[in-house]
A and B are shown apart, each in its own frame.
Chain A
């Protein structure tokens, strides 16, 4: 049935409605005389987008998964999901794709997130939110005709420079709340050194030192996910950061390797894989088609997926933070640079803020173990982490850190 609805949307004639979204592009126009995208509330009718850009559509037999095919590629959408999958990559829409009154509706950012994959061209929405600009990467100017037939000259597309209006208005401000997460604790002892040093003790000590520095020298509120030697679950740690509306999450760990010779620093931020993501989508569909668990089960599953995806929005800043942490450790505390890495770390999933996990040295390396136990070295590590956070804060205030 949904398929039929889509088809009717697709083949309905494009008409100009109140406050439509116009489309102009660098070479000529799309669909003579002029393409407009229909709005429904603050969303767009997918049918008008399909028609304007001559996309092909196909839907699975359950009417839940929709594939769109354009000149240069295809994307997959799921009803009630905010995800767009494309060639092993994905984008997250500001709101899920929905069906309403027989139409499929998508948020405006669908244009900037899906059109590049479909058409092989950049897409942006202008500051007034009334025109979609399409073009090849590069600079220049192009002409377009608006619905009233007026020729309009628009500046050329640099997707990154043409941010939506809300983002432009954002006044940059510094950090207010930082959450520090001393790894492990209680029955979870973490790694152990040759002479019995425990990761959980070491990282707590460094975390407390860092806390004092951040509070006194940077004037930010600091919340520790644990303040003594007790067990805290991984999801709980992330939840503490979310509930405190922290603007930065730093998980502190000490490293371990199979061989004693391994030493140095590593800093992590979260990795995502589209295939993992697709499988969670499939799980949602399977769950739905079985219909056993009902709406509640489905909501729980969707919640789990959204939890997993929460960090995606902050992934660029997380990378920036990780780079600063790694750089400052190597520079100020000295030691081998094992690099910034990405991994599917459970404690970083679900964090609604830039988040990183640092491994401050190998407790399994005899020399490093001795150093890590020294008060002065711990202070040096904490100072390096402090410098990294201050550095990040400066960039934040200068407006140098952009979201995804």
Chain B
């Protein structure tokens, strides 16, 4: 009995150690530069490792994408992506930035396969979108840029609406195929 319990405890420790090692490995694998890369901490391993990411919202004038730096818990890629998009859904903390995704939108499902992130949103992302070609572009690339700029594993993003590929989100911008990040939107140009 006692021996069995000891083995269990040991197993738990080993698993915990390897999980945290794995998580740490993933964190340094992150493509963020030196500033935000996590430093190996000598301190208590119980504190949750955090990862710095840049979320893409838009400026007051709706002219360009604008960054907000956030910390999200380190995890596997699917969890990181979900966490990043959920941050986009809940909106910016900075007052002068604006949320790019309509209220009430939820992630139906998402996965990363062969360098492409497939993100499936509920139909309100299209139905409740305010419209306008540029505004539509901002919504699309706030998602695409957030994923392609923060995660080395993601080169392209395929947006899905209600489980299906869609021609556009609000009637203007083509989203029928996987999209590459467009950092230029930051500068307001294309």
Contacts and interface: CB of A to CB of B under 8 A. Distances in A.
B135 A258 contact: yes
Contacts, number: 99
A390 B151 CA distance: 49
Interface residues of A, number: 40
A357 B178 CA distance: 23
A342 interface: yes
Contacts of A343: 133-134, 137, 172-173, 190
Interface in A314-367: 338, 341-347, 349, 357, 359, 362-364
Contacts of B189: 341
User: Which DSSP category, helix, strand, loop or mixed, fits chain B's interface?
Assistant: loop
Contact-residue bracket for chain B: 20 to 34
B171 A262 contact: no
Interface stretch (B41-49, B57-65, B71-79): B57-65
Contacts of A357: 133, 172
Contacts of A341: 134, 189-190
A190 B132 CA distance: 8
B129 to A, nearest CB: 8
A364 B138 CA distance: 16
Interface string B164-179: 0001101111101111
Interface string A25-41: 00000000000000000
Given A258-B99, A275-B180, A346 B133 contact: no
B168 A346 contact: yes
B117 to A, nearest CB: 15
Contact of A345 (B63, B172, B180): B172
A273 B100 CA distance: 23
Contacts of A192: 131
10 contacts: A190-B171, A191-B170, A253-B133, A257-B132, A258-B135, A259-B61, A344-B173, A346-B174, A346-B176, A357-B133
Interface of A: 183-184, 188, 190-192, 199, 233-235, 253, 255-259, 261-262, 266, 268, 271, 273, 275-276, 279-280, 338, 341-347, 349, 357, 359, 362-364
